[in-house]
Structure 1
């Protein structure tokens, strides 16, 4: 792997752009060799002895947040935990440091001229098609960065791009590989088949099964919530006051359902209802005793009689589908229907195969192999009778397939490179400082 990279590095021709892959990380951190008790002071981590500072971490953390917000929206924190945001950030910085160290090991350099040219061509710094020093200064001020800091970052980005360009040049694909893949993706083959559809089966459903389903799946039939108001009254006796204290504690903790075990009465005082509606509960002392009024949100469900027919239909359909699947799995007869020469998309459309179908199973199945696949409303038994055939190779499709294969190989090479660098590296993380970073 590294020999391929080194070969391409020596033949490298330098372009002035940055691939997003240099900034992509995962939430899974592979620390490599060494202790994770980590460095101390102002360093979040060290990679082969080189530190990642808290300033670098905070800057990259903001970049990560901006990226997640752009991809997932303003509510991205509902999907990504804070710890994972920190892990993504640290993983990006570790990856960056490893690639920069590889660039140094390979003797790669970026000239001052290349850095200046890149900065001059950044659209954000241009006005009327020309570089604006004023816009550049405003950008640096808004980021609280010195020109030297920003230029160093650009130089590092361009060094990383040199490494990635070498990785991207490494993979190759033969015409034979592409044509074989073409046959599987776009080739047409004939299938014999038989459909087993649930509509052809008439199972019975008992009333006991309906009642059991309703009991075990009551949440499905929820139709909303209803606010009810109740009141508990306690005499001013030692026992009454003790029960009142217990009730007050439950109300304060929001355990209103547990208050129902104390057998309250429906609350009819409209003025008190309005007060409880706002605060959740009210506790007061009256001449004849103590009183706790509270609001309870009670879930409402459709009755069994309301949904009996719906449940029966669902159970009958489920049973019919299970019967269709069993018939398909045990079928040993002849398959008399044929699809004719079809590609995968035509087969999916013809038999109404479900989206869960794995296309590779259809592409790679050997002639004569029995396949059982889910279709709309049942199952299909299929057997391919011919190999995928292609009458003519279309140049545009060949080109797109080749680029697809190369991209897959590039991604694989990139991940293999990172894994190799991590395995060789000594990565130490300052866990206490990392936990405190916001």
Structure 2
């Protein structure tokens, strides 16, 4: 028997999140690690539990299974967020939720108007991602370190959940009760690996996947939905490609060594035995998520055996001393909220800082650290934008050159963020070609000052 804060129960292909709390919840854990829903819920008088059946956000997603997303309502005397120090508003794109800005500007990808949200930080388990805590600690299931996650913070009335407010206050219906905090899951806010591997998002903006190399010669691939909840393999098919070459006459890449992905037990993951490889090793997963769909490409680079002690699919025990590396929190998961970069006062110093970020991005592209690119890329974007008030100090011809370079760098930074999440090396390299050229123009201009 154990007591938990939040529980995930998988029923078929749907994900149901059930919230309850230590003094009021006792649940049985089966040997397979899943939960029987009828044994789970004993409601807490301190909390209310809501479910939002969020439909497909576009016609392209209409045939995809839609998860039931939990909305956790805290009691008035136990808020998750300190209301004397609320997180600031940020702006995000309805179609591209990975876009975060501190001010309201058009989306750099689709040019839609951004919408205002208030995002709160909580802590969650790497695998059991609906477990939420207000501070850092360890997961009550398995004891792994909690990871930061962002949630949408709004307020509602305890007895009138149809009320939504972006600020704390008094319920406008009964005009007596204090509004309570409601925390909603957000799509694409949890891209932390669940099994110690590399976590990518698919171009359909819905599927996610994680590639691992848990044993020598064994590649394992997990699928997730747009809220990073586990999915079974369903009708997806694919291959693991180890080597491909460019065929000039065909003007395309030809696969020299490739293996079909096979479905693991109960359809919980794909796996393939690729033969023991020297590290680092590169594996390209090519997947169709449904028949007739476009085949997508995801490039994984493994510098070591994936270390995931909690992974039930692992075939052999490992330790760091056997050549594995202890799984660590990637920078993308360690940083939440809108990035804030220190902007120097002098434009020459700004350009120097931008050059440093450019070098960092270049190294990450070279080494396959695609999921980490977004931090230096978006910092470079902010640094480039900070140069615009100083452009009148340049000669007129230089002003135009730098202004155009800043515009290109900003666009390329968002593309690097986007394509880095997709894990497609070809798209990342194409975006970096624009980013690097723009950064070089800016830094070269200020080097001549």
Report the TM-score when normalising by structure 1: 0.16
Larger RCO: Structure 1 or Structure 2 (Cα < 8 Å, ≥ 6 residues apart)? Answer: 1
Structure showing the higher strand proportion among its residues:
2
Higher Rg of the two aligned structures: 1
- TM-score, with length taken from structure 2: 0.15
